[in-house]
Amino acid sequence: MSDLLQVILLGIVEGITEFLPVSSTGHLLIAEHLGLGQRSDVFNVVIQAGAILAVVLIYRQRLWELASGWARPDNRDYALKLLLAFVVTSVFAFAAVKLGFKLPEKLGPVAWALLIGGVWIIAAEWFAAKKPDSARITWTVAVAVGLAQVVAAIFPGTSRSGATIFVAMLLGTSNRAAATEFAFLVGIPTMFEASGYELLKSLKHGAGAENWADLGIAFAVSTVTAFVAVKWLLGYIVKHRFTVFAAYRIALGAALLLFMA
């Protein structure tokens, strides 16, 4: 398989899995073990930024409303809760990095994270269904979403979108669309910050070994693929639960454990 094809496939994998609650990091690790080649942290994080760009394009009107309507109390309240979730993520993620708190990026932990995450989705949907429909984002939800992003960053296979959406649903934002929107909007500054951090580290330590052409191609592929995937997901969750993703995670996690046995 040519290197260009590998780069394109990795961009597609990232674009599809970044915002579906199935774990992009886990799928990229699986792809690497299947022979698509091990890529640098810069490559992995920057193609995640491509997926984030897709979300910026999809939510551009909502983002403009928040930015231009700061004088409105509801917009200001929502924006401040996004900011709180982002700050919580940044502070605790920085602490986790300094403490070296991260599992080895091997298939074993990914398999277990996929399985546990699948059960987590089923449980969250079940409990959320018992609550009255609510699109309200509380301060507690904002803090919990920030912490959920840190957990997802530390444990490969957890899924950032899955962790954030379902913690919001469990804590009162039972409306799937509202929980998803908040989780996705928080992901925008979070992932752009992570991308910038990795790029600065790369430039500081010399980025001569990085193939910027491959990075650009993967970024573009990830952006387009993520745009399609997110648009589909936002339409799907209007009438459907996330149960299908839970079943997929459990099946994939079990298959990985059997493969490694």
The angle at the Cα of 125, spanning 127 to 122, to the nearest 5 degrees, equals 105
Which amino acid, 188?
I
Confidence of residue 88 (pLDDT cuts 50, 70, 90): very high
DSSP state of 201: H
pLDDT for res 101: 72
Confidence of residue 245 (pLDDT cuts 50, 70, 90): very high
Please check the confidence at residue 121 and state whether its pLDDT lies above 70: yes
Please check the confidence at residue 35 and state whether its pLDDT lies above 90: no
Please check the confidence at residue 207 and state whether its pLDDT lies above 60: no
pLDDT for res 261: 67
Q: CB within 8 A of 194, min separation 6: which ones?
A: 45, 48, 49, 153
pLDDT for res 106: 79
Parse the chain into domains and list their residue ranges: 3-260
Q: Is 213 left (phi over 0), alpha (psi -120 to 50) or beta?
A: alpha
Check if the beta carbon of residue 59 is closer than 8 Å to that of residue 49: no
- Mean pLDDT across the stretch 204-229? 83
CA dist 63 and 187 (Å) reads 13
Q: Which long-range contacts (CB under 8 A, 24 or more apart) does 242-246 make?
A: 242/21, 242/121, 242/125, 242/162, 242/165, 242/166, 242/176, 243/121, 243/122, 243/125, 245/20, 245/21, 245/22, 245/118, 245/121, 245/162, 246/117, 246/118, 246/119, 246/121, 246/122, 246/125
More confident residue, 40 or 242: 242
pLDDT for res 2: 75
Please check the confidence at residue 202 and state whether its pLDDT lies above 80: no
**Cβ count within 10 A of residue 173:** 28
Measure Cα distances from 29 to 9, 23, 26, 63 in Å.
13, 10, 5, 32
Confidence of residue 66 (pLDDT cuts 50, 70, 90): very high
pLDDT for res 111: 92
Please check the confidence at residue 114 and state whether its pLDDT lies above 90: yes
pLDDT tens for 122-178 read 998 998 888 888 999 999 999 999 999 999 888 888 899 999 999 999 998 999 999
CA dist 162 and 248 (Å) reads 13
Percent of the chain residues past pLDDT 90, beyond the cut: 57
- Mean pLDDT across the stretch 182-202? 85
Confidence of residue 77 (pLDDT cuts 50, 70, 90): very high
For residues 60, 61, 67 and 69, what is the CA-based torsion angle, rounded to 10 degrees? -170
- Mean pLDDT across the stretch 195-222? 77
More confident residue, 185 or 210: 185
**Cβ count within 10 A of residue 4:** 12
